[in-house]
Structure 1
Amino acid sequence: MMLSAARSFSALALRRARFPTQVTRYAPGQLAPLARRAVASPLCAASEAAAKGAATPAGGDQKAPYPPLKVTAPGRVVALGDVHGDIGQARRALTIAGVLGDGGDAVNPEWTGGNTVVVQVGDVLDRGDDEIAILILLQKLHKQAEAQGGAVYILNGNHEVLNVSGDFRYVTQGAFQESARFGEHLVNLFGSAFKEAFGGGEEDPRKRQVKARVGLFSPGGPLAQQLAMNSTVLIVNDTVFAHGGLMPRHVEFGLERLNNAVADWMRGAEIVSEEDRTALGMAIGSVKDSVVWNRTFGTENFVTDSDRDRACEVLGNTLDAISEKYGAAKRLVVGHTPQLGGCNGECDGRIWRIDVGMSFGVVGADPEVIEIDGDEVRVLNSRVPAKQASKL
């Protein structure tokens, strides 16, 4: 599917929700003042980097920075898979990783990771009730981590793409309610001028909830602009992260171009050039082989050895291409496809699959994460948390 910023995402969302009400489509930059102030609000507790990343109002000279492609981690790297709106399981995963302490609370979480870099590989949204709460939690932890030389990065997955596209098929009733509450919070903070954007004129609670979600997640909306700050592909030291997977053609085209195209689309920019449309399609379009939808390397058990060998060969070619263009790449870490046996590696450790289906909206599996420390990759879980693993 080729996505276009000209598409009426708001109307699409309402049709799928079976409501006839039309929602205003906001021009790029029209919601930007709200977005910029929202990410700096006490509720969002966004980092300084996030605040700088909010789009400039229409007519401004400054363009928001693009999300990073390559960063350096001074210490260990921790990666966790899809959390799908389950804040309880997300907190358990972060605790297992040794980066979330028990000295904080829901409002003020305690970062205990020092200079650890955390990468969450996407799909925070859908299937669970606490999506925005998880985004806020990760933002708060990122702000604390930055002060200690660490960081928390979130990738865009296919479910972030679905929501910015106006496809709410996997949104729970609780998540619609959370969207409405968050929209009301923004109206209370920033005035009634944005009341219509978040469903304030609707008497029907269900319609109000849907309109609030459309206002938040449509391209150019506050939370869409938050997601635009997230990478679609991220390289940390010699480890590459993507939600679904990467192919040699993605690398040849340019990974930074994929990141930038997704960011522009989420910010509400008009996607007009053939190059930008191609980049967007490679990143989020094709269900078969785009970055967020690809399952080439996600199969937990290949049917035949030849299937495995072919996948490992493509993976090797991909990592070789990345190494040649961007620097040494030893492994690829992906989510997207639930692994019923837990986090696992294959192809001589060059692929790691870390979506364990931890959300109770999926299978409610025990949380697991992986820890990358130099050349060592360890699986951490409730039986072997970070503090014990460091002694192995």
Structure 2
Amino acid sequence: MPNARQWMLIITGGLLLWYMLSSLAARREPEPSPGHQAFRQRLVAVGDLHGDIRNTRAVLRMAKLIDEHDKWIGGSDILVQTGDNIDRGTYALDIYRLFASLRDQASEAGGQLHTVLGNHEFMNAIGDWRYVSKADIAHWGGQKQRLHDMSLDGWLGQEWLANYTTTARVYLAPFKGAPSLSFTHGSLRPSYPDLLPYPDRINELGAGLLSRALTPPMAPPHPPNPYRGLPEGTTAAEAGVYDGGGPLWWRGLADELDEKTVCEWAKELKEKLGVRRIIGGHTPDFERIVDRCGGDVIIIDTGISYAYGGVLSALEIIYSLRPVDGAGELSTGVHALREGERYIEREEVYAVYQRGKKKITVIEQEMII
């Protein structure tokens, strides 16, 4: 049994170890600054859903965005979905209808819904139905109805053109120079020739290609019909959107094994685009959301659909501003953001799973807006 001196050494060593671990944790994750928040914004991003309405609802409920009746409860939250709602599963139709409803509900509550097109949306538009299940066609009401709905004359074709983009820049706050995030289905390539001006050029080309593809008569589905490729009249720049090196298909930020190379690409992209993080789907990891380069690159496809059997997941970002020294605070804690004043900016990034949240990164710094 330890004597008194040995007990003292054990206790002292334990206290020292506790202090070291506490100090390390403090350095890794900044504690929130004291004082009332002047501004707070929550953003949730969800990856590929591939025809699984049940898991779509489960993820949105897990993220506290909808209730059991599919009603928006996210208030001013922002929801981003990075494409590939269609193919492989049976209920893409229901997913698109759900998002159409949530778009209006979120807007009425002060929130936002941003929906990005994936390669599989474009595949269906140009007649590449290789991953369309018979059950999906039957649930849609047959091939003829499915084609009509996707055309320029149909509700989904009109929805895609009006409310879906090939890439999206989403701002975390409403002041000039606020940080923004880039969302694309695949990976943005630094050498992609139509990267700038971002996001307008990519979205212009994507909309042009999609409009051509959805103009009746649409290409007959392949299979069983021969694959026709891109629609007649497609320009070289529009074809580049759908090319293997374009934003719909390229996987470089996810697949490149050399981390240094990815971080160099990320740095170049951030500087060119003027964004803080580059977020995409397309390349699934069935166990987790993948973050690279300290969270500069985040890949959020975890194979949510039953067709893959991956984990249910969502990316959560909480952005807040606090006035330095409490300057200008009201007794209620409400504070109007004012240009030229100093604030403590805090951004918390988490991967959300059914088992809980995992921190990706937390940053805190002083800024003048």
TM above 0.5: yes
Q: Closer, same or farther in 2 for the Cα pair 1:308/1:174, shift >3 Å? A: same
Q: Give CA deviations for 1:159-192 in whole Å, capped at 9, x if unaligned.
A: 0000001111101112101222xxxxxxxxxxxx
Offset at residue 376 of structure 1 (A): 1.4
For 1:84 and 1:115, locate their aligned partners in 2 and report how far apart those are by CA, in whole Å. Answer: 27
Q: What residue number does 2:239 align with?
A: 281
Task: Please give the residue correspondences for 1:1-392 in structure 2 after superposition, counting only pairs within 5 Å.
Answer: 75-102=41-68, 104=69, 109-180=70-141, 209-218=142-151, 221-229=154-162, 230-237=164-171, 238-248=180-190, 249=192, 250-252=194-196, 254-268=198-212, 277-283=235-241, 285-287=242-244, 289-299=245-255, 303=257, 307-323=258-274, 329-361=275-307, 363-374=308-319, 375-384=347-356
State whether residues 74 and 115 of structure 1, in contact with CA within 8 Å, keep that contact through their aligned partners in structure 2: no
For 2:282 and 2:232, locate their aligned partners in 1 and report how far apart those are by CA, in whole Å. Answer: 29
Per residue, is there more helix in 1 or in 2? 1
Gaps of 5+ in 2: 1-38, 172-179, 216-229, 320-346, 359-369
For residue 44 of structure 2, give the secondary structure of its aligned residue in structure 1: strand
Letter in 2 for 1:115: S
State whether residues 239 and 332 of structure 1, in contact with CA within 8 Å, keep that contact through their aligned partners in structure 2: yes
Q: Give CA deviations for 1:111-142 in whole Å, capped at 9, x if unaligned.
A: 11010010000000001111010111111111
The TM-score, its normalising length taken from structure 2, stands at 0.67
Structure with bigger gyration radius: 2
Letter in 2 for 1:83: L
Letter in 1 for 2:91: D
For residue 370 of structure 1, give the secondary structure of its aligned residue in structure 2: strand
Offset at residue 157 of structure 1 (A): 0.2
For 2:102 and 2:62, locate their aligned partners in 1 and report how far apart those are by CA, in whole Å. Answer: 15
For residue 380 of structure 1, give the secondary structure of its aligned residue in structure 2: strand
Q: Closer, same or farther in 2 for the Cα pair 1:278/1:316, shift >3 Å? A: farther
State whether residues 287 and 311 of structure 2, in contact with CA within 8 Å, keep that contact through their aligned partners in structure 1: no
For 2:152 and 2:269, locate their aligned partners in 1 and report how far apart those are by CA, in whole Å. Answer: 31
State whether residues 91 and 139 of structure 2, in contact with CA within 8 Å, keep that contact through their aligned partners in structure 1: yes
Q: What residue number does 2:7 align with?
A: none
For residue 348 of structure 1, give the secondary structure of its aligned residue in structure 2: helix
Q: Give CA deviations for 1:297-349 in whole Å, capped at 9, x if unaligned.
A: 123xx54xxx22112211211111001xxxxx110110001112311211121
For 2:95 and 2:205, locate their aligned partners in 1 and report how far apart those are by CA, in whole Å. Answer: 25
The TM-score, its normalising length taken from structure 1, stands at 0.64
State whether residues 198 and 273 of structure 2, in contact with CA within 8 Å, keep that contact through their aligned partners in structure 1: no
For 2:209 and 2:146, locate their aligned partners in 1 and report how far apart those are by CA, in whole Å. Answer: 17
Offset at residue 382 of structure 1 (A): 1.0
Q: Give CA deviations for 1:236-272 in whole Å, capped at 9, x if unaligned.
A: 1111100001123342365312212222333348899
Letter in 1 for 2:136: A
Offset at residue 74 of structure 1 (A): 6.8
